[in-house]
Amino acid sequence: MTYFDEIKRTMEILAKDDRVIFIGQSIAYTGTSMYGTVEHVPKEKKIELPVFEDVQMGISTGLALEGYIPISIYPRMDFLVLAFNQLITHLDKIEQMSDGQFKPKVIIRTAIGSVKPLFPGPQHCQDYTEQLKIMLKNINVVKLEKSTDILFQYTKALESEKSTILIEIPDKYQDN
């Protein structure tokens, strides 16, 4: 099974959990390579958003506070940078800020921008994995290097008490 097919299968499995809701850009309508991985997720499980990354992270945190497990999709890691205010200052610290009263869990799905078949420019293909690991103290950060890691790591994120960022590598979508 290819990396892409394994992500697609994993999203369909996660969608079966009543608490899971998918949120982001190009998840209900085509537009990014990630759309194909959620196209078979039921429409009622998706919230399509415009391009406003910081607000998306805030909405995701709010949904998590209400008992949902949002899978917040950022098609490129470069776009996730625009949500750092909500990610680092709020989601990562909310348990501490609330003295343990609130423990929202968000699964953040992002990708290192593909450089195939065309190079999109340096502003669309950066890898901030190590920087995130340094900045985030209460959120797991996992880079999905192999297709065999995908289901295991997403299932682990679903079962974890903490939020998790899962970083995909679209240039491996066709790899086994």
Domain containing residue 15: CATH number: 3.40.50.970
DSSP state of 112: P
Q: Nearest 5°: phi and psi at 87?
A: -70, -55
Residue positions counted in the chain: 176
pLDDT at site 91: 98
Average of pLDDT values for 144-150? Answer: 97
What tens digit of pLDDT does each residue of 69-114 get? 999 999 999 999 999 999 999 999 999 999 999 999 999 999 998 8
Structural domain including 24 reads: 3-172
Provide the pLDDT for residue 94: 97
What number of other Cβ atoms are within 10 A of residue 12's Cβ?
Answer: 15
Query: Model-level pTM greater than 0.75?
Result: yes
- d(CA 169, CA 139) in angstroms, rounded, equals 20
Q: In what order do the strands lie in the sheet with 46-48?
A: 46-48, 20-24, 69-74, 107-111, 163-168, 139-143
Contacts of 98 (CB under 8 A, 6+ apart): none
Position 128 scores a pLDDT of 96
- Give tens-digit pLDDT for 18-63: 999 999 999 999 888 889 999 999 999 999 999 999 999 999 999 9
Tell me how far apart the alpha carbons of residues 53 and 101 are, in angstroms, rounded to a whole number: 26
Nearest-5° Cα angle at 97, 162 to 110: 40
pLDDT higher than 90, residue 155: yes
- Whole-number pLDDT of residue 33: 80
Token pair belonging to 10: 């994993």
Give the whole-angstrom CA distance, residue 73 versus residue 144: 15
- Number of domains making up the chain: 1
Q: Which residues contact 27 (CB under 8 A, 6 or more apart)?
A: 34, 35, 38, 41, 46, 47, 48, 73
Eight-state DSSP code of residue 118: S
Structure tokens at 158: 């679903």
